[in-house]
Structure 1
Amino acid sequence: MKTGRLCGVLFLLLVAMVQPGYAKDSKKPIIPCSHPVFRLFDFWVGEWLVYHRDSGKLAGYDRVSRTLAGCALQQSWISLDDHFSSPKVPFRMNGKSLTAFDGAQWVQFWVDNQAGSQVLKGGPEDKSFILYSETPVGGYDYRMSWVPNKDGTLLNRSERRKEGTGEWETVFDFIYHRNLNQRRFEDEEEDQSDN
């Protein structure tokens, strides 16, 4: 019984010594990702209806939220057309990404249900936010750009070119509109503590 109490006391002391969020010499809380650099991509946060810019047709839903105490952005994409469909795959493309600032640049890891995955890196450039593929995918280099508009919409374009050379060609060109219905994604758990 005494050993159990002693272990309990030692455990509480250990927890008190390593409690996250406090500096060693201070009682002031430290919020690791509170620096303004971690907010540079926050214009992408939201529930979005995404349309093809050329046709105006609805392409999909995109949900982007802050997660991990504001240290990352988590994206959930649902395609509503066959723009990204792979031959002979009986379902449309859905995907997720996690994007964070690593101290020097922004890094995004994308994965989808069509066996696609990609690492993109970059950050703000002029009035855009641009990420480039870290390594070629299928013999192509990729470039993704996001541009916020004054009316609250967001332009999102993906381009590719043959590895290391050539002209950029458009993969998709989307315009994002806020989803005022706040459609919920069925496969996601809601974690209010990270928002």
Structure 2
Amino acid sequence: MMTSTNKRKANHNAIQLSRRFIWLIGLFFVNQIYAATPKPCTTDEYRQFDFWIGEWEVKNASGKTVGHNKIFPVMNGCALSENWTSARGNSGVSYNFYDQAEKKWHQTWVDQNGGVLYLDGSLDNNKMVLKGYRPDKEGKQVLHKISWTPMKDGRVKQHWQSSTDEGKAWTEVFVGFYSKK
């Protein structure tokens, strides 16, 4: 026969066992929810600009080296960091990232002389095309368009153009061919 003390101990043990069981069930469901939640920045859109990742030697159309660029993923793959050094020693950096809410890519560029460029766009026919306005030295708005195209031989072509008439006529600013080091 059980004494009242033994009954209390048995009830206490049963309650503790029930609490542990409920806690384990809760932990199981939390793990299931966490496992089902997609990791940030892993959808295909975030990988659209991955063809630009690498350490590159950059040459102009005549084959002369104009600089070196290193592009690598940062923030758990949520952005790309660009680190440019020209053959003359000038440098600049950019962050490139996909904004899921806006469904477009952004680039924020700054160079050692304070030059800034903000571009937005998307992948278009297998090339990344980003555009943005920036005032020139006289304060007139200039539209900049830069495209990056992966080539069959593994290189990437960068084509930078500008326009002072809303894109009716374009002036070539830079054409570079990226070759992996």
Q: Shorter-chain TM-score: which interval? A: 0.7 to 0.9
CA distance in 2, matches of 1:40, 1:162: 29
What is the Cα deviation at residue 25 of structure 1? 6.7
Asked if 1:37 is matched to 2:41, the reply is no
Q: Check whether the contact 1:76–1:95 (CA below 8 A) recurs between aligned residues.
A: yes
TM-score by length of 2: 0.75
**Compared with structure 1, are the counterparts of its residues 74 and 60 closer, same or farther at alpha carbon in structure 2 (3 Å cutoff)?**
same
Q: Which residue of 1 aligns with 2:20?
A: none
CA distance in 1, matches of 2:177, 2:114: 25
CA distance in 1, matches of 2:135, 2:79: 24
Alignment of 1:19-38 (within 5 A): 26-28=33-35, 30-38=38-46
Alignment of 1:34-183 (within 5 A): 34-53=42-61, 55-81=62-88, 92-103=89-100, 104-133=103-132, 135-138=133-136, 139=140, 140-164=142-166, 166-179=168-181
Q: Which residue of 2 aligns with 1:183?
A: none
What is the Cα deviation at residue 123 of structure 1? 1.0
Amino acid at match of 1:131: L
Aligned alpha-carbon RMSD (Å) = 1.7
Q: Which has the higher strand share?
A: 2
Q: Which has the higher contact order (CA 8 A, sep 6+)?
A: 1
Query: Could you tell me the percent identity over the aligned residues?
Result: 30
Q: Check whether the contact 1:136–1:163 (CA below 8 A) recurs between aligned residues.
A: no
- The structure whose Rg is larger is 2
Q: Check whether the contact 1:131–1:145 (CA below 8 A) recurs between aligned residues.
A: yes
Q: Where does structure 1 differ by over 4 angstroms across 4 or more consecutive aligned residues?
A: none
